[in-house]
């Protein structure tokens, strides 16, 4: 992909998902939730094991350690910002590199490096599977890989080795859902402006490049609510908030969308703020040939990623990604 100054921009399409990027791998029956293996109260492999769309809605797996619900408070997300992928069900990644950690109920990775930007710590789990972990030509250079049930490997290595150990995702899944819901209901304190310019090259009709500017001045937390009418057909998302702050951009009522060659940009010469793209109602999202920055929070969505570059993260129901680096 070209850099953001020469990127051939695509467009955000609502109501459909492109299928040419990669295939999401999922289990039609007996889909497993990210909890310590196995739940003793439910028979394995029956249709009743399909989880509720909201992990916090099922009272039994919620850890007793959760005292008070998390609001729209990025500071209470704990270690979640250290994850490039946090997937409630399956996480699949091939042909690329991930700067941070990966966790999922079942994880399959091939031809990839995981956690390359982290400090070396053999005791830290940089690749985690609640149930099954499969790796082929994978390097975990700065941490260990863990799995709860079964493990298969081919030409792979991890600094701390591959270790069978119980792992529960339930606390962090609770945080993701509560954070998404709380931020989705928070009042906006930003302004939005959409501008379009005609591409000067000869085409009939001449294409336009449309930029959605999100502007905020709060030094701590900026909240935006993006109408679907402003999002559809947009090529560039411009984040213009203080460098030390956090932006949560809520995109409610969006169920399916494809982001194709869409870029997230920031003012030059400034430290990047923390950005969360919150899709509380999304079912399917695709990011293809994107230059996306920030964390996609989509607790109930099947997310497909192909040829993505940029400092991003995806917290969702499933993640299937290929030929990407983030």
Distance from C-alpha of 297 to C-alpha of 25, rounded to nearest angstrom = 20
Strand-pair category, 294-306 with 274-278: parallel
Number of other CB atoms surrounding residue 199 within 10 Å: 12
In the DSSP assignment, the letter for residue 233 is: T
Distance from C-alpha of 197 to C-alpha of 20, rounded to nearest angstrom = 29
List CB contacts of 218: < 8 A, sequence separation 6 or more: 189, 241, 242, 245
Number of other CB atoms surrounding residue 136 within 10 Å: 15
CA dihedral of residues 272, 285, 214, 249 (deg, nearest 10): -80
- pLDDT tens for the chain, 326 residues long, are 333 333 445 667 765 444 456 443 333 333 333 333 333 333 333 333 333 333 333 333 334 444 589 999 999 999 999 999 999 999 999 999 999 999 999 999 999 999 999 999 999 999 999 999 999 999 999 999 999 999 999 999 999 999 999 999 999 999 999 999 999 999 999 999 999 998 776 656 667 899 999 999 999 999 999 999 999 999 999 999 999 999 999 999 999 999 999 999 999 877 899 999 999 999 999 999 999 999 999 999 999 999 999 999 999 999 999 999 99
State the pTM of this model: 0.83
Q: What are phi and psi of 297, to 5 degrees?
A: -105, 105
State both tokens at 322: 């290929």
CB of 90 within 8 A of CB of 318? Answer: yes
């Amino acid at each position: 992909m070209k850099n953001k100054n020469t990127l051939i921009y695509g467009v955000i399409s609502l109501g459909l998902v492109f299928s040419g990027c990669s295939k999401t791998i999922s289990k039609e029956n007996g889909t497993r939730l990210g909890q310590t293996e196995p739940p003793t109260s439910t028979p394995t492999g029956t249709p009743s094991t399909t989880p509720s769309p909201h992990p916090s809605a099922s009272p039994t797996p919620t850890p007793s350690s959760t005292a008070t619900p998390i609001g729209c408070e990025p500071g209470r997300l704990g270690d979640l910002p250290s994850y490039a992928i946090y997937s409630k069900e399956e996480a699949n990644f091939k042909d690329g590199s991930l700067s941070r950690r990966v966790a999922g109920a079942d994880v399959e990775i091939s031809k990839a490096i995981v956690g390359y930007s982290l400090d070396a710590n053999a005791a830290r789990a940089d690749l985690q599977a609640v149930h099954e972990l499969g790796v082929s030509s994978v390097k975990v250079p700065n941490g260990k890989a863990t799995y709860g049930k079964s493990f298969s490997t081919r030409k792979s290595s991890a600094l701390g080795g591959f270790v069978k150990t119980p792992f529960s995702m339930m606390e962090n899944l609770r945080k993701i859902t509560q954070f998404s819901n709380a931020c989705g209901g928070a009042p906006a304190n930003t302004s939005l402006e959409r501008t379009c310019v005609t591409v000067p090259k000869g085409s009939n009709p001449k294409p336009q490049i449309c930029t959605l500017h999100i502007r905020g001045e709060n030094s701590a937390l900026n909240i935006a609510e993006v109408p679907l009418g402003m999002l559809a057909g947009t090529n560039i998302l411009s984040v213009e908030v203080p460098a030390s702050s956090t932006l949560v951009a809520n995109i409610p009522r969006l169920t399916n969308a494809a982001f194709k060659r869409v870029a997230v940009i920031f003012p030059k010469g400034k430290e990047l703020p923390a950005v969360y793209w919150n899709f509380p109602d999304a079912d399917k999202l695709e990011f293809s040939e994107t230059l996306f920055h920030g964390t996609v929070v989509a607790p109930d969505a099947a997310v497909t990623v192909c040829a993505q570059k940029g400092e991003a993260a995806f917290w969702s129901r499933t993640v299937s990604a290929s030929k990407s680096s983030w």
